[in-house]
A and B are shown apart, each in its own frame.
Chain A
Amino acid sequence: MIYGVSYTALIFFIFFVGLVLGLSFYFGGKTKSASSYYAAGGQIHWSVNGIAFAGDYLSAASFLGICGMIAVSGFDGFLYAIGFLAGWMVALFLVAEPFKKLGKYTFSDALNSTFQSRLVTLTASISTLIVSIFYLIPQMVGAGDLVTPLLGLPHWVGVVIVGIIVILIVATAGMTSTTYVQFLKGGLLILLSTILTVYILQNGFTLTPNHKNQDFHEFMNLSPAVVDGQVQNVENWNLISQQEVEGNEFVNLEKDGISRWFNLVKANGTYTLKEVLSITEDANGIQLYNGEPKENGKFYQVGHLSKIIVNGKEVDKTGSVGPFEFLKIIKDSEVVRFSNVKFTNQSQVVSLYYPSEISGKDFMLPGLKYKIGKGASLWSKMDFVSLMLALFLGTAALPHILIRYYTVKSPRDARKSTILAIAAIGAFYVLTLFMGLGAAVNGVMDVESSNMAAPLLARAFGVVLFSVVSAIAFATVLGTVSGLIVASSGAIAHDLLDKYFNKNLSDEKKVKAGKLSAFAVGIFAIALGILFKGMNVSFLVGWAFAIAASANLPAILFLLFWKKTTAKGISWSIVMGIMSSLLIILTSPTMWGRYGLNPMNAIHHLENPAIISFPLSVLTLYIISSLAKVKTVQMQIN
């Protein structure tokens, strides 16, 4: 999409980044010990920690990704919200308090509290690194997406800016500053989402969603002369070419030297050419948006209702609506969605986004992304179950969430902060449903990136709202990335260097090693953020959850609830969880597409690995621990 620089947004952006950095430098002066760097000295109040939990958890995936996926895929996006919150039940009921009692700074501390095993240290720290890196990718992708409309800069510049700021934050103050940044950001995010939802409900629905800051583009419909499905001529346009792609006929027309693409649709025996959005790139790499240079601003924002039904009657618009009425109207109406096709035409690479109407009833049901209804394949159903399993089991195994239990004084505080987090996160997720659907029907969607749905919706309502929302979203990314980098640096400096390689670092050196590790992980995260541009951030986070659920959760639960658990069992289950989930992800249809291959030819059709990798990890832990037990008994007999 085409974005211009918003100076108001820029001012808010600089203010928030300055505030975050100021907090970091302030707490940086107080961070002298390893306990302070990795666990904020265990002195954070439970209420601050609870909102900071929410801040940690409401990452780019929640705010940008879920809203974007709801806007594009309807209820399927909300599945992520349901699963993300359900995961906190595992954290609260099974993990929070015992975990607080076990560990000191890192995830491997807790696993190793009983065994003091180097193998556990090694596998747990590698697992922490892999999960954190998979969680970092979507945050960095989201950061790049955000900076483009804020500052009018390319995606990669956004990723680099976030990387540098976060390295500065973490390298200066560690967990204390991260906690207060998350507290601030979590609170503001919930407040702003509430304001945005009120705007959406007050605005109601209209067939032509024009906003103060943004005009609605009505797509052209032309009447062609067609013989045997081939367009012969079209009003005062010149016919250039016609091509069939994935069962759709696309026609390239030209007028006044500008080339446009249309979708040929036949309804009730009459042919219509419907205007689509196009991005073309010639052999010299010159890109045209809807046949014109990018800066002409002819690549429009989209998404609206084509039919509005209120209490069984068709209307052109409604006034303000209540929350239940809002959901009911969308369910009863018709939504215009955009699909993407890519092909080559006369040495040009053509990417088209064409509209299609879908009943609100289908939009408000699972099935647009995860096909589980009639005719759905077994792979598709397995994928849905696998996603819901990963989201449910992943939360309680995320290292950057787990280490937050060490920042409070007692297990009781750990429990109370978890409950506050659940309330705050739950309220936010209900709001994402309204924000996502609001973006879908208000003509604000950027077809190139679903991640910008919520901030662009805010921009339609006002520049100030957009500026604050974008700045908070940016702070969201900063906070989450900071937390992840603290977890990763702990795994490298505290677990690997100090524990596994027995470097016996002094307190001061441990902090220094942590900061150097933060720098290295930050650079790596920047590279990955650039590499994965264009992918939905919630989808990417789903992978991090699956790896965490498979590699870490069996180890945590067996350690807490099965006395026969052994260090070997824990280590091998972590290895099995990582290997099996990574193998399934790296051979998934999405990755097949990333390798430049046809996703349909992927060796399996599972996007989410947890349904296979989690049971494998559990089984490994059980078998190896049982075998070790048998060995011990036999040795005693001998």
Chain B
Amino acid sequence: MLHKPATITKEDYASKKKARLGIIFFFIYLFFYGGFVTIGVVNYELLAIDTIGGLNLATLYGIGLIVFAILLGLLYNFYCSRYEDRMEKEMEEKEDNL
């Protein structure tokens, strides 16, 4: 048996653009996640300072990372879907012109 996909899908014209966007978004998130870890190791006392609503920076940053992940995911899906729709439309138009 060949190692092929479980389902056959139509060609993904936007895959390169989506991959590039994915890498950018990955590094954006890595920057903030790495920031949290770095503060913990390098300047631990900073995590104790009071911020919004009386929460310390550790709690705010931690919850913030979770909320940020959800928002970034939604934004990524929005752009990817737009790329896919646009590229598919362009390809269809090209095929029609031919």
Give the interface of A toward B (CB within 8 A): 35, 39, 41-43, 75, 78-79, 81-82, 85-86, 88-90, 92-94, 97-98, 100-105, 109-110, 112-113, 116, 324, 327-328, 331-332, 361, 364-367, 372-374, 376, 381, 384-385, 388, 392, 406-412, 415-416, 418-419, 422-423, 426, 429-430, 433, 498-499
Which residues of chain B have C-beta atoms less than 8 A from A423's C-beta? 70, 73-74
Which residues of chain A have C-beta atoms less than 8 A from B73's C-beta? 88-89, 92, 418-419, 422-423
Which residues of chain A have C-beta atoms less than 8 A from B23's C-beta? 93-94
Q: Cβ of A94 and Cβ of B22 under 8 Å apart? A: yes
B30: min CB distance to chain A, Å: 8
Kindly state the separation between the CA atoms of A90 and B19 in the bound complex, as whole angstroms. 12
Among B10, B56, B65, the residue within 8 A (CB) of A331 is B56
Q: Cβ of B69 and Cβ of A426 under 8 Å apart? A: yes
Which residues of chain B have C-beta atoms less than 8 A from A35's C-beta? 6
Among B3, B7, B26, the residue within 8 A (CB) of A94 is B26
Query: Given contacts A367-B44, A372-B40, A423-B70, is CB(A411)–CB(B9) below 8 Å?
Result: yes
Contact with A along B4-36 (1 / 0, CB 8 A): 111101101001001100110110011001001
Query: Given contacts A328-B55, A419-B76, is CB(A372)–CB(B22) below 8 Å?
Result: no
What is the chain A residue whose CB lies nearest that of B19?
A98
Question: In the complex, how many residues of chain B place their beta carbon closer than 8 angstroms to a beta carbon of chain A?
Answer: 48
Kindly state the separation between the CA atoms of A305 and B54 in the bound complex, as whole angstroms. 19
Q: Cβ of B1 and Cβ of A498 under 8 Å apart? A: yes
Interchain pairs with CB closer than 8 A, number: 164
Given contacts A75-B59, A93-B76, 19 further A-B contacts (CB under 8 A): A42-B7, A78-B59, A82-B36, A82-B65, A86-B33, A92-B73, A97-B15, A97-B22, A98-B15, A103-B5, A104-B5, A331-B54, A366-B47, A374-B44, A385-B41, A412-B84, A426-B66, A430-B63, A430-B66
What is the chain A residue whose CB lies nearest that of B47?
A365
Q: Cβ of B59 and Cβ of A109 under 8 Å apart? A: no
Q: Cβ of A92 and Cβ of B62 under 8 Å apart? A: no
Among B5, B9, B19, B70, the residue within 8 A (CB) of A426 is B70
Please provide the chain B residues from 38 to 76 with a CB less than 8 Å away from any CB of chain A in the complex: 40-41, 44-45, 47-48, 53-56, 58-59, 62-63, 65-67, 69-70, 72-74, 76
Q: Cβ of A85 and Cβ of B44 under 8 Å apart? A: no
The 9 A-B residue pairs with the shortest CB-CB distance, nearest first, are A42-B7, A328-B54, A93-B22, A324-B53, A93-B26, A42-B6, A373-B44, A419-B73, A89-B29
Which residues of chain B have C-beta atoms less than 8 A from A75's C-beta? 58-59, 62
Kindly state the separation between the CA atoms of A381 and B45 in the bound complex, as whole angstroms. 14
29 contacts between A and B (CB under 8 A): A86-B33, A89-B25, A90-B26, A92-B22, A93-B22, A101-B9, A101-B12, A103-B3, A103-B6, A104-B4, A105-B6, A328-B53, A331-B54, A361-B56, A365-B58, A366-B47, A376-B44, A388-B33, A392-B33, A409-B9, A419-B74, A419-B77, A422-B69, A422-B70, A423-B70, A426-B66, A426-B70, A430-B63, A499-B1
By CB atoms of chain B within 10 A, which of A41, A93, A327, A412 has the most?
Answer: A93
- Tell me whether B37 is interfacial, beta carbon within 8 Å: yes
Kindly state the separation between the CA atoms of A75 and B60 in the bound complex, as whole angstroms. 12
Q: Cβ of B69 and Cβ of A100 under 8 Å apart? A: no
Q: Is the interface of A mostly helix, strand, loop or mixed?
A: helix
Kindly state the separation between the CA atoms of A156 and B37 in the bound complex, as whole angstroms. 38
Which residues of chain B have C-beta atoms less than 8 A from A331's C-beta? 54-56, 59
Kindly state the separation between the CA atoms of A328 and B59 in the bound complex, as whole angstroms. 10
Q: Cβ of A361 and Cβ of B63 under 8 Å apart? A: no
What is the chain B residue whose CB lies nearest that of A420?
B73
What is the chain A residue whose CB lies nearest that of B29?
A89
Which residues of chain A have C-beta atoms less than 8 A from B58's C-beta? 75, 364-366
A440: min CB distance to chain B, Å: 14
Q: Cβ of B6 and Cβ of A104 under 8 Å apart? A: yes
Q: Cβ of B76 and Cβ of A92 under 8 Å apart? A: yes
Which residues of chain A have C-beta atoms less than 8 A from B66's C-beta? 81-82, 85, 426, 429-430
Q: Cβ of A384 and Cβ of B76 under 8 Å apart? A: no
- Tell me whether B87 is interfacial, beta carbon within 8 Å: no
Kindly state the separation between the CA atoms of A499 and B1 in the bound complex, as whole angstroms. 8
Which residues of chain A have C-beta atoms less than 8 A from B77's C-beta? 415-416, 419
Which residues of chain B have C-beta atoms less than 8 A from A381's C-beta? 41
Which residues of chain B have C-beta atoms less than 8 A from A101's C-beta? 5, 9, 12
Which residues of chain B have C-beta atoms less than 8 A from A43's C-beta? 7
